[in-house]
Amino acid sequence: MILVVFPYALKQNELNKALAAARDGATYGASLRGMGFRGENVKEIPQGVVKIEEIKLVEMSDKLTEEEKTRVGAWYQIRFQVSIPDYMKDKATCSGSSIGMTIRKRSISYINYAFYGDWTPEDELKVYTDRFKFTTACDFV
């Protein structure tokens, strides 16, 4: 029975691990931006309350390319619902905004570290694990 359950359990473990790492990365990005910190060559945004209200997992496996299908079994987009004051919004959409990009990039960085022990992923906005492709997005709420 263990042998039957094993592959499914490994897959779920990978998914949960990525979600936990993404949440941590998003929290990291949100905390620092909330304190008014910014990275090098990043736009300065005044400090304020940056809150991750909710994290959703959106399956996008039907959008995998043929090449990606040989590499991973599924594509999951981790979607953050972010609440910030209006004065901190430098763009209308969260995904393209300064705060949104920080949250997204730090999430991917944390997922990459959780799986590969390296803070710098090959692509800042996506990471491939053994079974999945992960990308991030966010919405203002």
Partner 1 sequence: MRGQISLEAILAVGFSIVILLSLFNLTWERFYLARDVGEAGEAKMVGELLAGAINNAYANGEGFSIYLGPDVLNYTRLGDASRITGVGISLPIVIDKTGRTINISKSMQKTGGGNWMAAVPIIPANISRASPTAQYAETTIRNNGGGIIIYAAQENIDVP
Site residues for partner 1 per CB under 8 A: 1-3, 6, 9-10, 13-14, 17, 20-21, 24, 27-28, 31-32, 35-40, 44, 47, 106, 109-110, 113-115, 117-120
- Least CB distance to partner 1 at residue 67 (A): 26
Least separation in angstroms between residue 114's CB and partner 1 is 5
Is 139 exposed, middle or buried (CB count within 10 Å of its CB: 0-12, 13-18, 19+)?
middle
Rama region for 36: left / alpha / beta (φ>0; ψ in -120 to 50; rest): left
Say how far apart CA 101 and CA 83 lie, in whole Å: 14
Q: How far is CA 70 from CA 25, 41, 47, 73, in A?
A: 28, 37, 44, 8
Q: Closer to partner 1 by CB, 37 or 74: give it.
A: 37
**Closest separation in Å from C-beta 5 to partner 1:** 9
For the CB of residue 140, give the shortest distance to partner 1 in the complex, in Å. Answer: 23
3-class secondary-structure state, position 43: coil
Considering beta carbons, is residue 39 or 139 the nearer one to partner 1? 39
Output 1 or 92, the one with its CB closest to partner 1: 1
Quick one: 43 or 63, whose CB is closer to partner 1? 43
Match 């990978």 to its residue by tokens: 14
